[in-house]
Structure 1
Amino acid sequence: MNDLWVSVAMLGVSVLLSELIRSAARVLPIDYRIYLREAASTFQLCCCTHELKLLGDSAQLELSYGLALTYTVTLVHLVTFQDATCNPTAALESVCRGTRSLRAAGVVIMLQFAAAVAAQSYVASAWSQGLSDIHLQQKSTDFRCFDPLGGTLLEAAVVELACAFVLQAACMHAHKLDERLQVHFIAAVVTAAVYAGGGISGAMFNPVLAFSIQFPCSGHTYLEYCFVYWLGPVLGKQWTGVHSL
Structure 2
Amino acid sequence: MSGLNASLGYFLAVVIFAASVQIFAKKWPRFSFICEFASSFMLVACWLEVQTIVEVGEWAGGLGPDVTVTMLFMVLLTHGVICGKASGNPTLVVQKFLLLETTTLPTLLAVLAQFLGAHIACLAALYYWDLELTDMHMIKNLMARECSTSLLVSLRQGFFTECVCALIFHLVHLNLQARSALIRVPLIALLFTFLSHTARRFTSAYMNPSLAYGLTFQCPGFTFTEYALVYWLGSLTGMTLALLLYMGHIPRIFAKNLLYFQKTRFKVPKADKGEKKKH
Contact 1:124 1:143 in 2 (8 A): no
- 1:73–1:82 Cα change, 3 Å: same
Superposed counterparts of 1:1-245, under 5 Å: 1-27=1-27, 29-32=28-31, 34-60=32-58, 61-174=63-176, 180-244=182-246, 245=248
When residues 3 and 107 of structure 1 are mapped into structure 2, their CA distance, relative to the original with a 3 A threshold, is same
Counting aligned pairs with the same residue, the percent is 23
Corresponding residue SS for 1:199? coil
Q: Which string of whole-angstrom CA distances, capped at 9 and with x for unpartnered residues, describes residues 84-130 of structure 1?
A: 12122222222222222212211111111111111111110111000
TM-score, structure 2 normalization: 0.82
| Moved >4 Å (runs of 4+) | 175-179
Q: After superposing the two structures, state which structure 1 stretch, 146-155 or 190-199, moved more.
A: 146-155
Q: Residues of 2 paired with 1:82 and 1:66: CA distance?
A: 24
TM-aligned CA deviation for residue 149 of structure 1: 2.2
Structure 2 gaps of 5+ residues are 249-279
What do the CA deviations read for 1:158-209 (whole angstroms, capped 9, x no partner)? 2211221111111122257665332221111111101111221122110011
Secondary structure at 1:216 match in 2? coil
Q: Residue deviations 1:22-45, cap 9 Å, x none? A: 122233x2111x111111111101
1:169, 1:86 → 2: CA distance?
18
Deviations 1:207-234, CA, capped at 9 Å, x for gaps: 0111111100001111110111111111
SS of 2:101's equivalent in the other structure is coil
Whichever structure has more helix as a proportion of its residues is 1
Contact 1:153–1:228 (Cα < 8 Å) also in 2: yes
Kept in 1, the 8 Å contact 2:197–2:204? The answer is: no
Given that residues 138 and 144 in structure 1 are in contact (C-alpha distance below 8 angstroms), is that contact kept between their aligned partners in structure 2? Answer: no
Equivalent residues, number: 243
Closer/same/farther in 2, CA of residues 233 and 175 from structure 1, 3 Å limit: closer
